[in-house]
A and B are shown apart, each in its own frame.
Chain A
Amino acid sequence: MEQPLKDLLSNDVLAYVIMAFIPLLWIVPYALFAVWLERKVSAHMQDRLGPMRVGGWHGWAQTIADILKLVQKEDIVPSAADKKLHFLSPWVVFIGSYAAFAAIPFSSAYVGSNINLGLFYVIAVSTLVVVGILMAGWSSNNKWSLFGAMRSAAQIVSYEIPTALALLAVVMIAGTLNLQEINQQQTGWFWHWYIFKKFPFVFVAFIIYFVASLAETNRTPFDLPEAESELVAGYHTEYSGMKFALFFLAEYANMFAVSAIGATLFLGGWNSPFGDFLGGPIWGVFWFLSKGMFFVVVQMWLRWTLPRLRVDQLMYVSWKVLTPWAFVCILGVGFWMMM
């Protein structure tokens, strides 16, 4: 898509800018939809109805009304807060989660930047989120914010290790870090997907990746940073209006980013599960977004099913369960490939 756009506009810089904005066209409507979906999923799991009034059919316009309200709200900054950092942190968090979308291929025809280090870049750039969260926690000058930020940072840093190791098992088979190439290697029927290769090692790696990605996005059962019964709302307690909306948008963008990376590496990304049936670049977008959305729904489902872990259990799961088993997967794949 890059070359036709450059030819059409005859201006490379403008073409790059348009390429960079395309994922936003998906993320913003997706976040509005996902917030509504989360409320509906939680409501139905608890035998309630959830929002039913706004917009008519099952309250579909509820989040649109909510975002309009958030845009109009006064931006309250606590008087003891550090003004500059308080202003900056929602942007750092959102940039960190949006930057990851630059290397994720949405279809065989569209990837923001087809770089060879795609996966490595995604893992590296998402660490910006940690710094943004620490910034939010510190600048709010509030003990709940600070403890929420500390917990969140410690959790994300610990869970990065099993995430990266589990992804490494696929990278070993693929022999490349380029996400577009990894997708192309999985073309064909669904048994060409990496999740079914070198069974059961890659399958276990996928489970490890999924569990660790829940922790990376601060979702239940790993939502200690936002444990509302003890920390109010964690690191974004002191944020209101549009800044809070940015944190929210970043959280939902992150949920989709980790799901999309899981779908790309393990489940064929934009490939159709049925060979050439509904193939091609346009249907590719459909398959990619459906696979991503499937895992977003699974994340919501888990959130309303599982209780929250304790801090020591959280660290136990990361260091004593997920990390060793991720190493077993890597060794297994390695031995299998040598044989």
Chain B
Amino acid sequence: MNFYDTLFYFFAIITLVSAGIVVFSRNIIYSAFSLLFTFFGVAGIYVLLNADFIAVSQLLIYVGGILVLLLFGVMLTNKVVNVEMKTGTLQTFPASILVAVTAGALCAVFYVTDWKIVSSVADVPNTANILGEMFMTTYILPFEVISIVLLVALVGAALIARKETPIKN
């Protein structure tokens, strides 16, 4: 087992153990915080796959954005407003059917797909430049559509968050 393999197993164990805590923990705060380690482990695996841009974006968007938002949500409802958060098991039977079907579908996809196995990924010198050029040439339409969707979401969020109270004279 060389250095690369050791690192892979290190990140894989971090991801799996913390993902397990996210799912099985009774305390919703522990679930939220252990997501940090899941995202970290996944980012590490992306780095090992030479996908450095995706790894850093993963950290920036999921840890910096989504996880902080999630923590704010959990903390504000749990501690400030004193709402009891429920983490229990209900609807066991339908849930287990759904889980079995999803897991089966995923396994089927995993085994049926003809994976392209490359023994060593060519070292891409500058992923950010290549991605930027592709966004501005080949994929300009999806890129712009996503930008507009995000802008609309931003305006919508501001509109919902801001309660306009009519001024009475």
Contacts and interface: CB of A to CB of B under 8 A. Distances in A.
Q: Do A and B bind each other?
A: yes
Interface residues of A, number: 30
Contacts of B30: 84-85
A120 B56 CA distance: 7
B33 interface: yes
Q: In terms of DSSP, what is the predominant structure of the interface of chain B?
A: helix
Interface string A84-101: 110010001000000000
Contacts of B75: 134, 137-138, 146, 150
Contacts of B60: 120, 123-124, 127
Interface in A195-253: none
Interface stretch (B63-71, B81-89, B102-110): B63-71
Which residue of A88, A128, A131, A146 has the most chain B CB atoms within 10 A of its CB atom?
A131
A138 B29 CA distance: 9
Interface in B1-57: 3, 29-30, 33, 36, 52-53, 56-57
Interface string A303-335: 000000000000000000000000000000000
B72 interface: yes
B128 A125 contact: no
A131 B59 CA distance: 12
Nearest to A115: B52
Given A120-B56, A124-B56, A177 B128 contact: yes
A127 B56 contact: no
B127 A157 contact: no
Contacts, number: 75
Contact of A138 (B36, B79, B128): B79
A89 to B, nearest CB: 9
B158 to A, nearest CB: 10
A288 to B, nearest CB: 24
Given A117-B56, A146-B79, A12 B3 contact: yes
B52 A117 contact: yes
Interface in A1-47: 12-13
A88 B56 CA distance: 23
Interface string A112-151: 0001110011011101101100110110000000100010
Contacts of B79: 138, 146
Interface string B116-150: 00000000011111000000000000000000000
Given A117-B52, A138-B75, A146-B79, A131 B68 contact: yes
Contacts of A85: 29-30, 33
Given A123-B60, A124-B63, A176-B126, 12 more contacts: A12-B3, A82-B29, A116-B52, A116-B127, A117-B128, A130-B64, A138-B29, A138-B71, A146-B79, A150-B75, A153-B71, A153-B72
21 contacts: A12-B3, A82-B29, A84-B30, A116-B52, A116-B126, A117-B128, A121-B56, A124-B60, A124-B64, A128-B59, A130-B64, A131-B33, A131-B63, A131-B67, A131-B68, A135-B33, A137-B75, A138-B79, A146-B80, A157-B64, A176-B129
Nearest 5 Cβ contacts at the A-B interface: A127-B64, A124-B60, A124-B59, A124-B56, A134-B71
